Amino acid sequence: MIIENPAALPFILNEQIYLSKSDIGNLEAPSPVAAIVDGPPVAEIPVIDAQPEVAQVLVVESAQAVIETSVVSEPEPSIQTPVTSFNYSGKNGKAFLIVCHYPGLEGMDEKHLAALTNTLQRKQLSLDDVAIINLAQHAGATAKQLHAFFKPTKLLILGKQGILPGWDTLVFNQLLEKNGFKALLTDSFADMMADREKAKAFWEQMKQL
């Protein structure tokens, strides 16, 4: 039946729906709605569940791992101890260090060196047995550096200007002997040549050094 006016449809059907046997046999068939649901999958719009706390933790942990890796893999800087050297006279054959102070000169004054040489000969020593250093040419030197470099078992300081921290406990013209190490603080040769008594006081202690 062809119905031209859809408004007349309720009067014709009398608000009752009749099913044929063929329709009854297909009761288990999916309804049009179910068919649509079971049909081809409809693309779902993904729900973005932002979790800033988790994201931040992952970022922090990742950054921490990078930092730890860089710290472990970074080579340790090598520590280099600077080598200290000194200009001195003699060969230090018997570990005998003689300290003097002559501003403007490379070493000792020639006359004073001659007097020192004579004094050493009286003790059966030569310049090859000692090391003579002019502290005026090594203003930044320390007693620790000198001991490490020369390793002296005997120390003679000529003049108070040759006193360094660590040697300031020495008593003037009094021989110090401790644990096999001997040290003597005395006048400079300039003072001894100008005063015979100072020269005699020096020699009395020098004989034991």
Helix (H, G, I), strand (E, B) or coil at 67: helix
pTM of the model: 0.61
How wide is the angle at C-alpha 151 spanned by C-alphas 127 and 154, nearest 5°? Answer: 55
Domain 89-206 grouped into CATH 3.40.470.10: yes
Secondary structure string (H, E, C) spanning 8-47: HHHHHHCCCCCCCHHHHHCCCCCCHHHHHHHCCCCCCCCC
Tell me: the pLDDT tens digits for 106-130?
Answer: 999 999 999 999 999 999 999 999 9
| Helices (H), ranges, 39-164 | 52-73, 110-122, 143-150
Per the prediction, the chain carries an average pLDDT of 77
Tell me: the pLDDT tens digits for 44-90?
Answer: 544 545 454 544 444 444 445 444 444 444 555 555 445 478 999 99
Residue pair 98/135 in contact (Cβ under 8 Å)? The answer is: no
Indicate the domain borders of the chain: 89-206
pLDDT band of 194, cuts 50, 70, 90: very high
